């Protein structure tokens, strides 16, 4: 009888200890989950702040570029037109007047072309009217007109529709990558390759320039310095739910590889 009572006491004690252990374990795990969620929230907030900062910096850079274009190019042209117009009152010979009008028209045409260039860079008309691929064809044509290097667009697979926000984000990413190749790579060729796959869109932007400073003799994955241009690319890539990586080798060029999952590619993105 006493042994039975002792067994009950021991069993109850073990059960209580097990219950306490399970309770403490669940409490510990719950706190770990909460801490993990808090940490993830902090990381997400930091990432969002970084993307927002990158967006602000990109906008400020764009405003400064536009201001510089107006100040350095359009402003002097309009000042020249004003001076030419002021000289009309001193002209008497009809032939001289005609030549003067011709010079004024030439300067005005140059100013109009510069204004159109600035406006086109702000909102690509071809993109809005005809879509991403034709806008990139237009971008390649403008690069080729410089006669400094050759740009080509290749498309593989059957094209599918992307929403306008996604198209604009991809256009800006590719435009920035091409600008980097033009300014820094000393390249002769730029290749833009689109592969429309069932589950993702793959985009490659490759140049045959000198490669990145940190690149070795063999092609390898490269971590790039966090300049404003790259931060802006990464911010847009993240908003699309996409991934981007860079491969480079010394004197053999650099390739940016962008993967856009189809659900994210077709979902609305705020850029």
**Residue whose structure tokens are 């993830």:** 40
Two structure tokens written together for 1: 């009888």
Sign of dihedral through CA atoms 106, 108, 112, 118?
A: positive
**What is the helix (H) or strand (E) element at residue 76, kind and residue range?**
helix 75-86
Look up the pTM and report it.
0.59
Sign of dihedral through CA atoms 212, 213, 216, 220?
A: negative
All residues at 6 or more sequence positions from 55 whose CB lies less than 8 Å from its CB, including other chains: 232, 235
**What does each C-alpha distance from 24 to 13, 20, 29 come to in angstroms?**
16, 6, 9
**Residue whose structure tokens are 């241009």:** 229
Residue 92 main-chain phi, psi, to 5 deg: -120, -35
Q: Per-residue pLDDT for the chain (271 aa), expressed as one digit of tens each?
A: 555 555 555 556 666 666 776 777 677 777 777 777 777 666 666 666 665 566 556 655 666 666 666 666 767 777 777 777 777 777 777 787 778 778 877 877 777 777 777 666 666 777 888 899 999 999 999 889 877 789 999 999 988 888 888 898 899 999 989 988 888 878 899 999 999 998 899 999 999 988 776 555 555 555 655 565 677 788 888 888 899 999 888 778 899 999 999 764 444 343 4
222 and 195 Cβ atoms separated by less than 8 Å:
no
Which domains are seen in the chain, by residue range? 2-118 (no CATH), 124-266 (3.30.565.10)
Q: What is the distance between the alpha carbons of residues 238 and 50, in angstroms, rounded to a whole number?
A: 11
According to DSSP, residue 224 is labeled P
Two structure tokens written together for 228: 């404003």
Q: What is the distance between the alpha carbons of residues 3 and 130, in angstroms, rounded to a whole number?
A: 90
């Amino acid at each position: 009888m006493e042994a039975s009572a002792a067994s009950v006491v021991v069993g109850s004690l073990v059960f209580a200890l097990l219950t306490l252990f399970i309770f403490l374990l669940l409490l510990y795990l719950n706190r770990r989950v909460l801490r993990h969620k808090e940490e993830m929230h902090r990381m997400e907030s930091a990432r969002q702040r970084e993307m927002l900062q990158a967006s602000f910096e990109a906008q400020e850079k764009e405003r400064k570029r536009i201001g510089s274009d107006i100040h350095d190019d359009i402003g002097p042209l309009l000042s020249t037109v004003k001076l030419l117009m002021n000289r009309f009152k001193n002209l008497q010979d009809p032939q001289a007047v005609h030549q003067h009008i011709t010079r004024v028209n030439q300067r005005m045409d140059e100013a109009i072309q510069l204004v159109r260039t600035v406006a086109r860079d702000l909102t690509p008309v071809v993109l809005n009217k005809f879509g991403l691929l034709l806008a990139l064809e237009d971008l390649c044509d403008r690069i080729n007109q410089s006669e400094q290097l050759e740009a080509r667009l290749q498309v593989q697979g059957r094209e599918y529709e992307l929403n306008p926000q996604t198209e604009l984000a991809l256009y800006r990413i590719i435009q920035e990558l091409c600008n980097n190749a033009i300014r820094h790579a000393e390249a002769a060729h730029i290749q833009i390759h689109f592969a429309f796959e069932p589950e993702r869109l793959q985009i490659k932007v490759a140049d045959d320039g000198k490669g990145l400073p940190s690149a070795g003799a063999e092609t390898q994955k490269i971590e790039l310095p966090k300049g404003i241009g790259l931060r802006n690319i990464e911010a847009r890539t993240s908003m699309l739910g996409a991934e981007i990586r860079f491969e480079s080798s010394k004197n053999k060029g650099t390739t940016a590889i962008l993967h856009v999952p189809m659900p994210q590619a077709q979902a609305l993105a705020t850029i």
